[in-house]
Amino acid sequence: MTSTLGDLARLVGGTLCSLSASEDAAIRIHGANPLADAVAGQITLVDSLRSMDRLASTQAAAAIVPLHATATSIPVIAVDDPHTAFEQVVRFFRPTRPIPRTGIHPTASISPTAQLAAGVSVGPGATIGERTSIGPGTTIHAGAHIAADCLLGRNVTIYPAAVLYDGTRIGDRVIIHSCAVIGAHGFGYRQKDGRHVPCAQLGYVMVGNDVEIGANTTIDRGTYGATVVGDGTKIDNLVQIGHNCHIGRHNIICSQVGIAGSTTTGDYVIMAGQVGVRDHVTIGKGAILSAMAGIVNDVPEGAVMMGIPATPEREQKIKQAALAKLAEMRKEFKKLQSTVAQLVRDTAQIRENEVQNGRMFDVCTVPDTKVL
């Protein structure tokens, strides 16, 4: 598949900028790739004015750049939003193939009491339990397991080997990637007669609309009620969300985050990679938890937290700056120790000399002592 540079500019609503725009509009483009991978005949992307100098070494025939970019050695298409424009171009050259509606595969195991709406596809080896209801346009891929009494909305996509335990409720347009486990028992035990006895696991998981849940992510069911994931929240791979958590709307939760039970987050919270959150903590709306932050207390609305244990960003940066100087400060401290020790020795020697010479006196009794 090929296109002219002029056609691509019209596709993205951009302005073609070059020494000879009329001639360069006819340049044939056969693909799109990032700067590091672009070859001759392809179009590439520069997403900031600071990076424009990187075009000097590219093999690409053209680039999509931000508005007000300076002149370059290759023609460029200037746009207001380079990433959105480049996505359009990539989709043009590598169009997404629609998921085929295959219907119900003969090897799928579906309970006779389950209810499947029009347009549902169930792949080979998938299982759907008793009394489960699946909305129109939903796709259950090969080997996925939907247990009893689940409720799935419209246009949900469940990828291979994902597991939904009984009673799980999924909203519309939710995407659950391979090997995710939704509704497993929470990690709750109590001691009885010297043994760990499991607490009740009688709740369920409720996922809102437009949520995406990454591969190998696990969300535990509530003890009695629901573990909740709010509308629009995006969860990366390898995330653990404990029982009774209430995750707000439009959260971003990155890889390897662990959230202990009964934690609540507000809307638009961001948790970067490997954040750890203790149980029964409240994270305020719009808070940002930086990578590897250890959250042990409530976080105020809009706060940016860093470090282990996590503290506000400014405080943590001051600590890190001090730590960076610790080796130098240690050397200076040892020098001061040595100097003070020498002063103590010198003072002791002076006192000893005064005693030996019979001139020892108490400065407190000396009249008219003046401080110079």
Q: Active-site residue numbers?
A: 243
Distance CA 84, CA 99 (A): 23
Distance CA 110, CA 122 (A): 9
Q: Closest Cα to residue 146, out of 101, 108, 172?
A: 108
- Show the beta-strand stretches assigned E in 239-300: 240-241, 246-247, 252-253, 258-259, 264-265, 270-271, 276-277, 282-283, 288-289, 294-295
Question: For residues 35 and 45, is the Cβ–Cβ distance under 8 A?
Answer: yes
Question: For residues 221 and 243, is the Cβ–Cβ distance under 8 A?
Answer: yes
> Is residue 323 classed as helix, strand or coil in its secondary structure?
helix
Distance CA 258, CA 269 (A): 14
Distance CA 298, CA 111 (A): 45
What are phi and psi for residue 186, nearest 5 degrees?
-70, 160
Q: What percent of the chain is helix, strand and coil (3-state, nearest 5)?
A: 20, 25, 50
| DSSP 8-state class, residue 51 | G
Distance CA 161, CA 288 (A): 32
Contacts 24+ apart (CB under 8 A), 162-168: 165/205, 165/221, 166/129, 166/204, 167/203, 167/204, 167/205, 167/221, 168/204, 168/205, 168/206, 168/207, 168/221
